[in-house]
Chain A
């Protein structure tokens, strides 16, 4: 096992994000000094990987596009192998403001909670989101909050942070790599993970295309409802 520079790793899954990735990385470097950064390049066809390498940041290149869930899990496996204590994940499109990283880290380090979610909707500030998408996220949030008896406002947020207890689960085959969202949180709740939501102000996408466009939201909604029901039916995990 390699020697660690830090206890914390920031994992950034990236697919064709050459326009925004350097901003995200520089933001991480500036705001959270006590962490390593790892970019998982999900077979980008642009210069994402090269840009990251030029910034002297570790990249793991996937040989072909496998989706954000699998890219993230690759990072989790790396983190588990290298024995990182805390894992923070961010979207590569620059919509998560990195100035909240220290807050997230502090919350994790206090060890009160296992899983921190950066919520786009807690801060009160308006985030320009697709209204239909916002509507569905809200429904999920309400539904999920009801199930886990705890208030969550943004279960689909890509800004998350957690400790080794969660990491252990994330590297198993039980991890739903297709859509690691609401059902993922529900499963974590079932194994006794404690959540905390931290308000973060969102930036609008700097460049690139959202993964949820066209007919995908509809498919996503159906898939998510199904996944939640399945998680509820599973007795042991």
Chain B
């Protein structure tokens, strides 16, 4: 793995790390979601500091370039993230629906009384 890729990975990791912590501090991001992003930053850091892991994985998956291993794993990770968000959105949609219905029903009830 090239030096430049190493530096890039470390910078990205630091960028994510600082960014996420800032967002949590400012309460723009829930702590619950920050964990997953910090984990990603951590993985980047590990790969940058121990390039042997990347080579090992490249061997394991049969990819010639270690960078392709990153792409491959990265895409899988993003897919899982998307699935996770879809799940969350489903729950939220349900809750919003139920809440909205309740508000509408209560409002009509109040109209009746007044």
Contacts and interface: CB of A to CB of B under 8 A. Distances in A.
Interface of A: 2, 40, 58-64, 66, 70, 73-74, 77-78, 81, 173, 177
Interface of B: 94, 97-98, 100-101, 103-105, 107-108, 112
Contacts of A77: 101, 105
Contacts, number: 36
Nearest to B108: A60
B31 to A, nearest CB: 27
Contacts of B94: 173
B97 A78 contact: no
B103 A63 contact: yes
A227 to B, nearest CB: 14
B64 to A, nearest CB: 39
Contacts of A63: 100, 103-104
B86 to A, nearest CB: 14
A63 B107 CA distance: 10
B107 A64 contact: no
23 contacts: A2-B112, A40-B104, A60-B104, A60-B107, A60-B108, A61-B104, A61-B107, A61-B108, A62-B100, A62-B101, A62-B104, A63-B100, A63-B104, A64-B100, A66-B97, A66-B100, A70-B100, A73-B101, A74-B104, A74-B105, A77-B105, A78-B108, A173-B98
